[in-house]
Structure 1
Amino acid sequence: MQQTSEKTETRNKSLLTSSLVTIFFVSPLLFFTDLTRNPYYLQITLLNAALLSAGAVLAVGAARKKSWELPANILYAPLAAMLAVSALSLFRAYFSHAAFFRPAIASEGTRVALFTFANCALVFLLAQKVPFDKEPLRQSTAGWLALIFIWGGLWLLFPELKASASGESLFSRFWDPYGGFLWLAGAAAAWFLARNFNQEDFLHLAMAAGAIASLYGVLQYFQLELIWPKILNPYGNRSVSTFGNPNFISSYLVMLLPFVLAYLLAAKRPAQRFFYGFLFLIYEAMLMASLTRSSWIGAAAALAAVFAFREYREKFLENRKFMRWFFAAALVLLVLWPANSLKPFTSGLAERFSEGSSKMLSPSAFSLDVKPFKVYASFHQRLLIWSCAWQMGLESPLLGKGWGLFELFYPFYQGALLYAFEPIRPFRTHANNAHNELLEVFSQAGLLGLGIYVWLLAVLAAGFYRHYKNAPSDSRYWIIPFAAAMTGMYMDNLFNVSLHFAVPAFIFWWLLGAFSKKLSGAEFSVKSASSSLILHTSPLTRRMPALNTAAAVVLAVFCVWGINCWRAQFMREVYYFKGFKVMRKNDFAGAAAALKKAYDSHPREVNSNYEMGNAYVRAGDLAAAKWAYGEALNSNAGYDEIYFNLAIVNKKLGETALALDNLKVSAFINPLNNTVFHALAELYVKDADVNAKEAAEIFESAVGLFPADANLLNTLGYFYTRLKDSRRAKESYARAVKLNPRDTMLVQNLFGVAAQLGLKDDADLRWFKAYKEVEDKLLAGDASSVQASADRLVALDPGNLHALGLRAKVRFKAGNTAKAKEDLLAILAADPRENNARYGLAVVYEKEGDFENARREWDKILAAEPNNAAAAEHLSKLPQ
């Protein structure tokens, strides 16, 4: 019986090792560019499948023994409470919202619940099962160096040795003989290095994967792509490496950096110093290549936390001869890292921190109602997101909006702020998280969730203080990097979202589990490479075998369901990408078929379902399109474009009331899309008398957002006439005429409503007559009096850009280029997008012989209008 038990333990340890090697080594590095639209979806699927497989191993073992054999841990209670409150908040949200939102709440809630349990709680539990070695410092680093440089170096041959895809099948796009051999060899090498099944070796496996990813990312930064046919730069000059997002790899490295520093300071041999010194510098280089300032702050906080303790200051002094030179090199790398690899040198560190500093020095900049010249995109977009998160929490202070529902409901809070604060309108976004960990919790789990979260952190801090105060020096030394890693990650996530994405979240929850395990006095020992774990079973688990078995069965079923769910989601992404590509080839029926397969694989993904709706529309199947857009809303009801497209389908199907409702929701979510208002106008006028009051209210808001849209003003004027409010109608028509005085219909509407009001000598009528007088004299060539007429026109409304533009023409024709230039510059100061004025200004510069300024203006025009042939011709004829 004892022998069978040992065999089972050995088998389970091997299975767990395989899963953890997949998670620590394969998942962070594996991605495909032609398999799914998100090239990194496979690594997310692998990570979750491996986690759930490991969870199933734990569950089977617990069911067999009728005991979980988990060590005591100071965080079990707050974590259980946090999970309970998260579930309660989601449950409340489901029943407190309108039935329309419930499918989307179930969809988004299930997605985030799976992440919370598998990518967070299960990771924490798995960390409890892996013991610490008695000797943290690795005696040999040769294996880890070989994994990084030999295995990583073999990928340099991949472009030459890879086979061409033999077809469009999943296998042909997934499998390559040389690439497959490398991955099998790498996984085997990683398994061998981590075979002793301890925390230290898995940490080194994470550090080795981080080093390989960092090397790749640094090469990316300098435009060197050695594996794929083209540079992968979805974030411009910011390297994504193998993680898909610069913010993710940077956070991952922030967590590992304190451990690298601890090993470097403790290193006694040159080979150890070389290995850990290399890790430190390549991590630093990758952090710089990511250009992620929040992670720079996190890394600085983590390193500062390390040196806040006497043990590390003493270690530095012991090794000061080496460390001084080493940190001098690190400082040079930090300061001299280029801001852009393709431009003349400027310091990346200085440029990234200085670019917004001039705008953020006054308190007035820390507001959504900021002056335009003080707007800083990176900060004010976050401030917009934080404001919405705060409103979500205030709406339901106790339990928040519902755990996992931030992305679903965020757009419904953003629209009103965009309407109220013009300077932040360019920063409209579809935020998936709050970009601040405290607001993340408050917005979705309320004060109750935030209180438990603070309780968790307080327990962790108290445990660390107690451990540091009472533990021997060596134990204190090796516990400090855990505290520093937590500090760095939390500082990073005061501005970042990486705690809510697969790979960085995994390393955080693993280290949190290991950290709390140490603080709880549960440092398991490993007797030998083949020994079983020395576990301590709590009295609670011994007394409740039936409950333990039931919990194990529930976990096993959940893990099997979760693995199948991830398999289905992965196949959905494969079919989605296929449909996306076929759609771009204008094969709409083929795209719809592929996207329907994606839906059949897993029906709850908003982007795939939305694309399916678009394919059905293009294929002419409106009924199917209506259904597909409905399924997109059932997946996530927070996208304005779905409502808009569905409204157009409703309109074509004769469902006017539904079309109106969907257009109104689209306008509420995204009031910056003026196309929605024009579509609303088309529907409202069909029954103008019934809709006039509601339409007038909506279009009053619309013209506040688009004051230069003459058509919207004309529509507003029309509905005021239907309401018999001639005064407001006249004001709307007058504003429209001043925006487009050549539009005959607008002029007729203005004069018509003025006649109804009995107005004959109105200021707006005088303005139009003066404009028409100048225009007529200009056409007739009446140079004697046209300049005086133009001056009188501008005096009537000095801020009107059409009047200024007309006077600029008059002055230019009279040969007064200096005065014409004044008017054109005034127009561009008021509206830099006014390319007609810019065109005139460029011509003036040419006439004055100022070819440098002329070239600048022609370049600006072509940047906005690349197909402007006249501007291109002017530019080509300028003297070099």
Structure 2
Amino acid sequence: MPKDSGNRSPRQKSRGNTERALSPVRRGVLSAAFWVFAAAIFFSPLIFFTAVTRNPYIIQNIIFRSLTAVAVLLLLFSRKGHITFAKTYLDKPLAAYGILIALSLVAALIYYPQWKTAYFVFWGKRMIFFVFNCLAVFYISFLMAKDSYYKKILIYALIATASISAFYAILQYTGHEFIWPQNLHHYGSRSVSTFGNPTFIASFEVVIIILCLWAFTGASTAPSAIVWAVIFSLNFFALLITQTRSSWAGAIVALVIYTVFALKKGLWKKMAAAFAVLFLVAWIFPKLAYNHDHPTVWSRLTVETRNISNLMESSGMTQRLLIWGASWRMFRQSPVFGHGWGSFEIRYPVEQGRMIAEKPEFGGLRTHANNSHSEILEQLSQLGIVGFFIFAAIWLVFFYRAGRAYFESGGLLVLACAAAAAGFMADNMLGVTLNFPMPVMAFWAICGIAVAESSRGEYIVSRKLKTALALKIILSALVIFFIKKQVDYFKGEMKYFNGFTRSRMGDIKRAAKDCLKSWRYYHWNTDNNYELGNCFMRLAKYDREEWATEWKKAGVEPWATRMEAAVWAYKEALKANPAYDETYYSLAIAYQSMGEANEAEKNYREAASINPVSAEYFLALGNHFLRDEKTRDIKKAEEFYSRAFELKPDSPDIANNLAYVYMLKGDLRKSYELYKKALEINPAYDTAKRNLESLLPRLGIPVEKWRDKAIAAVKAENFAGALSLFRKIIDANPGDAGAAFYLGNCLTSLKRFDEAASVYERLVKFHPGEKNFATNLAKIYYMRGDRKKAVNFLEEISPNFPRDKDIDRLLNTFRGVGGNF
């Protein structure tokens, strides 16, 4: 490879500018940049905390970005008096894409000026991600791959970190966990390894297994082939363990591409051996699980297709359909330039709410989404047609140049990297890992290697600058500032996690102080600010003088009351992300407590518009319109209670409140039926019971006459006659516990023990403090021959009746110690 391009203009030469091939370098500033970046690649995915921050990849990204920023700085000033950077055939499309996403903020601010702070925050996060997690990785990897020594370092760093993580995943899979809690809630038996999310390690492994396959097919000796076969098996096993089907599909795409073109090189034996290993690992995979009902590869692949006749049973697919539908709506609203880069997480809850309002049957699928779960829709929804075509152009150029290089030179590494990139893209047609730090690091690294392998006339560029020293000082200061901000963000996450944990333990005061400290480190953590508002709402005592010190440290004007402080915190949460319905709802409650009815109503409505399937929000709106007798609006209250009852017909509170509205309207029959409904759901609901009993005489329902006749029948030992009367009373008033008790006694006297047990069980469930209900149920169990159940039941309820002689006597009788009942 030539040391100089030989095509510089005289002006370039006089200025000392060069475009040159990267000469072998083993020491110096450029070497240091490469080693720092290699350290970022190797260490970042392996470092995580389980009880310090919410997610392990927070510290991973902090470390990676900080080291990468240092590496970029060292690279830029690796030649004294010059600024140094790479030049590739993807520069122009990447620059066009970067300019577009930078300018997309303008589109967002035009559409949503009221949310400008949130859009600045999300756009800023995505710009930092694009610069440090994408571009920096790509260009440094490109330059490393131009040097054969550092190319090996880069590839080995990727494979080594993945293999260590894969080994840990296998330990988890076989039941040998020593760091994470055993139960990782919704991930179940899916291994997460050091990544904290099975999807992240899965996408990482899509890249790594192809690199391992490349190394295996290129091995020149039997021992090295065996070593690479083992490493290949290890990483492929880790991919299977994650049970991430989109990544499995991506891996298949990558394997097929690599296999088809590698076979043209005559690698039949090695590819046959590789596929033998794949099938062996896939067969062994479920057999090593500590969880013996672990699915096989085939069952995992077919679990959705078995439900194809009823997609509503397949939440994984239908939730994606909901997300895709919302993404498509976003695209249709702004098809040319989209809603702005980073806007999806802000816009999605709103669009989802509108979709559910139109199609309530999707209500049960409501979910949170950071991204579109399809990279095509990700681009269309946020950057429109223009952004999508520029994005597509990047990859068309990439695959065209990589393919041409393979056919010209036959290099298997460029084939492997292009195949891995294609697999990663295929994975992201259903996934999101192009938008998360650790998996995307592997993706852009292999893209950099592929471009280096397929480049012939691209060079490392050094431009001589008179202001190089000043620029170095400025950029060094910016890097230091950037790293400090990264550290502050991490400290804020730690304080938030402390506050969140203390809040759940009931230590509200210290939790609030921790969350306020978190806000001081980083203002735009919506979860922290929301938790801070909740803490102020729950704070038992707000000492204004004590909190004045805390507010002063935070640089905020002291709030006079805890409610004012809560309102401020919720507003801070909405500044950071205005799309969480819970925040609007909590803010509405705070305003309601402060007597600001208009603000409360506005925020209740906003919460209900984002989440139109929350009965709680519509119940709150109904309550809002009945709260003040002078200003109450019965019509609106009826509207919102009816919507709430439609959403949650098993809520006794909603039924009771709607019944009260009908009572105010004078529709006593409707009111009565709804009070009955409330008591059928909860017979111990005293408010509904009192209201219903007040209506009985007004509706001419003679419950007391029926009761007198029933009791007379019991005294006459006419239990069958009493039975029908007590059933009639209970039908009229499902909350009449006395009638239900008599009903149970009548059934017992008639030796209909199973029916009696059902009656008493319901009484005990809703009246656990009534001893007679409990002792009668125990006697029924005993009389129908279930002595063990009778004993167990009495032992279970005895703590509710400490040192009760009747309970003790019954227990002795049932245990056969003596006595009778």
TM-score interval, normalised by the smaller of the two chains: 0.7 to 0.9
Partner of 1:103: 117
Instruction: Establish whether residue 117 from structure 1 lines up as the match of residue 58 from structure 2.
Output: no
Higher relative contact order (CA 8 A, sep 6+): 1
Partner of 1:255: 207
1:754 Cα offset (Å): 11
Q: Which whole-Å deviations, capped at 9, do the CAs of 1:359-407 have from their partners, x for residues lacking one?
A: x232xx34xxx4xxxx123222322322222222233222333221222
Q: Which whole-Å deviations, capped at 9, do the CAs of 1:663-720 have from their partners, x for residues lacking one?
A: 3333333445544444444432223554334333322221111012232133234445
Q: Structure 2 CA distance, aligned partners of 1:8 and 1:133?
A: 8
| Cα distance change of structure 1 residues 810 and 77 upon mapping to structure 2, 3 Å threshold | farther
1:315 Cα offset (Å): 0.6
Q: How does 1:344-383 map to 2 (within 5 A)?
A: 344=292, 347-358=295-306, 360-362=307-309, 365-366=310-311, 370=312, 375-383=313-321
Query: Could you tell me which amino acid in structure 2 is paired with residue 13 of structure 1?
Result: L
Partner of 1:715: 657
Q: Which whole-Å deviations, capped at 9, do the CAs of 1:575-599 have from their partners, x for residues lacking one?
A: 3233344445544333333332222
Query: Could you tell me which amino acid in structure 2 is paired with residue 578 of structure 1?
Result: N
Query: Could you tell me which amino acid in structure 2 is paired with residue 569 of structure 1?
Result: Y
| Cα distance change of structure 1 residues 276 and 713 upon mapping to structure 2, 3 Å threshold | same
Instruction: Establish whether residue 641 from structure 1 lines up as the match of residue 582 from structure 2.
Output: yes
Q: Structure 1 CA distance, aligned partners of 2:669 and 2:32?
A: 79
1:105 Cα offset (Å): 2.0
Q: Structure 1 CA distance, aligned partners of 2:376 and 2:707?
A: 60
Query: Could you tell me which amino acid in structure 1 is paired with residue 451 of structure 2?
Result: S
Contact 2:619–2:644 at 8 Å: present in 1 too? no
Instruction: Tell me the SS of whatever aligns to 1:308.
Output: helix
Q: Which whole-Å deviations, capped at 9, do the CAs of 1:30-81 have from their partners, x for residues lacking one?
A: 1233443434422210101112222223444599436x553231x3333223
1:568 Cα offset (Å): 1.7
Partner of 1:144: none
Of 102, 107, 123 in structure 2, the residue corresponding to residue 87 of structure 1 is: 102
Larger gyration radius, structure 1 or structure 2: 2
Q: Structure 1 CA distance, aligned partners of 2:268 and 2:778?
A: 63
Of 410, 413, 422 in structure 1, the residue corresponding to residue 351 of structure 2 is: 413
Contact 1:213–1:242 at 8 Å: present in 2 too? yes
Q: Structure 2 CA distance, aligned partners of 1:457 and 1:778?
A: 87
| Cα distance change of structure 1 residues 433 and 69 upon mapping to structure 2, 3 Å threshold | closer
Query: Could you tell me which amino acid in structure 2 is paired with residue 215 of structure 1?
Result: F
Q: Which whole-Å deviations, capped at 9, do the CAs of 1:537-564 have from their partners, x for residues lacking one?
A: 5xxx97x989999999997776454323
Instruction: Establish whether residue 450 from structure 1 lines up as the match of residue 388 from structure 2.
Output: yes
Of 60, 70, 83 in structure 1, the residue corresponding to residue 86 of structure 2 is: 70
Contact 1:220–1:232 at 8 Å: present in 2 too? no
Partner of 1:630: 571
Q: How does 1:668-683 map to 2 (within 5 A)?
A: 668-683=609-624
Contact 2:48–2:57 at 8 Å: present in 1 too? yes
Of 680, 687, 700 in structure 1, the residue corresponding to residue 642 of structure 2 is: 700
Contact 1:266–1:315 at 8 Å: present in 2 too? no
Contact 1:85–1:449 at 8 Å: present in 2 too? yes
Instruction: Establish whether residue 784 from structure 1 lines up as the match of residue 720 from structure 2.
Output: yes
Partner of 2:6: none
Q: How does 1:196-595 map to 2 (within 5 A)?
A: 196-198=149-151, 200-226=152-178, 228=179, 231=182, 233=184, 235-311=187-263, 314-317=266-269, 319=270, 323-324=272-273, 327-338=275-286, 341-344=289-292, 347-358=295-306, 360-362=307-309, 365-366=310-311, 370=312, 375-418=313-356, 424-469=362-407, 471-473=408-410, 475=411, 477-522=412-457, 535=459, 537=461, 559-584=479-504, 586-595=506-515
1:97 Cα offset (Å): 1.6
Q: Which whole-Å deviations, capped at 9, do the CAs of 1:799-821 have from their partners, x for residues lacking one?
A: xxxx9999999989855689999
1:849 Cα offset (Å): 8.3
Q: Structure 2 CA distance, aligned partners of 1:783 and 1:220?
A: 63
1:26 Cα offset (Å): 1.0
Q: Structure 2 CA distance, aligned partners of 1:792 and 1:586?
A: 47
| Cα distance change of structure 1 residues 80 and 590 upon mapping to structure 2, 3 Å threshold | same
Instruction: Establish whether residue 659 from structure 1 lines up as the match of residue 600 from structure 2.
Output: yes
Gaps of at least 5 residues in structure 1 are: 135-195, 525-534, 797-802, 825-839
TM-score, reference length from structure 2 = 0.77
Partner of 2:529: 609
1:605 Cα offset (Å): 0.9
Q: CA RMSD for the aligned pairs?
A: 5.0
1:306 Cα offset (Å): 1.2
| Cα distance change of structure 1 residues 395 and 581 upon mapping to structure 2, 3 Å threshold | same
| Cα distance change of structure 1 residues 749 and 232 upon mapping to structure 2, 3 Å threshold | closer
Contact 2:30–2:74 at 8 Å: present in 1 too? no
1:209 Cα offset (Å): 1.0
Q: Structure 2 CA distance, aligned partners of 1:244 and 1:642?
A: 27
Instruction: Establish whether residue 31 from structure 1 lines up as the match of residue 45 from structure 2.
Output: no
Instruction: Tell me the SS of whatever aligns to 2:267.
Output: helix
Instruction: Tell me the SS of whatever aligns to 2:626.
Output: helix
Instruction: Tell me the SS of whatever aligns to 1:197.
Output: helix
Q: Structure 2 CA distance, aligned partners of 1:253 and 1:774?
A: 78
Gaps of at least 5 residues in structure 2 are: 1-14, 543-561, 733-738, 761-775, 802-809, 816-821
Q: How does 1:45-64 map to 2 (within 5 A)?
A: 45-60=62-77, 64=81
Q: Structure 1 CA distance, aligned partners of 2:44 and 2:501?
A: 26
Contact 1:252–1:507 at 8 Å: present in 2 too? yes
1:350 Cα offset (Å): 3.2
Partner of 1:42: 59
Q: Which whole-Å deviations, capped at 9, do the CAs of 1:217-239 have from their partners, x for residues lacking one?
A: 1112222135x486584533222
1:208 Cα offset (Å): 0.9
Q: Structure 1 CA distance, aligned partners of 2:430 and 2:706?
A: 53
Of 141, 144, 169 in structure 2, the residue corresponding to residue 130 of structure 1 is: 144
Query: Could you tell me which amino acid in structure 2 is paired with residue 129 of structure 1?
Result: L
Moved more, 444-453 or 672-681: 672-681
1:771 Cα offset (Å): 12
1:337 Cα offset (Å): 1.5
1:661 Cα offset (Å): 2.6
Moved more, 257-266 or 771-780: 771-780
Moved more, 28-37 or 722-731: 722-731
Instruction: Tell me the SS of whatever aligns to 1:496.
Output: coil
| Cα distance change of structure 1 residues 314 and 555 upon mapping to structure 2, 3 Å threshold | farther
Q: Which whole-Å deviations, capped at 9, do the CAs of 1:450-482 have from their partners, x for residues lacking one?
A: 23223333333333443344x133x2x322112
1:435 Cα offset (Å): 1.8
Moved more, 232-241 or 401-410: 232-241
Query: Could you tell me which amino acid in structure 1 is paired with residue 521 of structure 2?
Result: S
Contact 1:339–1:349 at 8 Å: present in 2 too? no
TM-score, reference length from structure 1 = 0.72
Query: Could you tell me which amino acid in structure 1 is paired with residue 409 of structure 2?
Result: P
| Cα distance change of structure 1 residues 850 and 591 upon mapping to structure 2, 3 Å threshold | closer
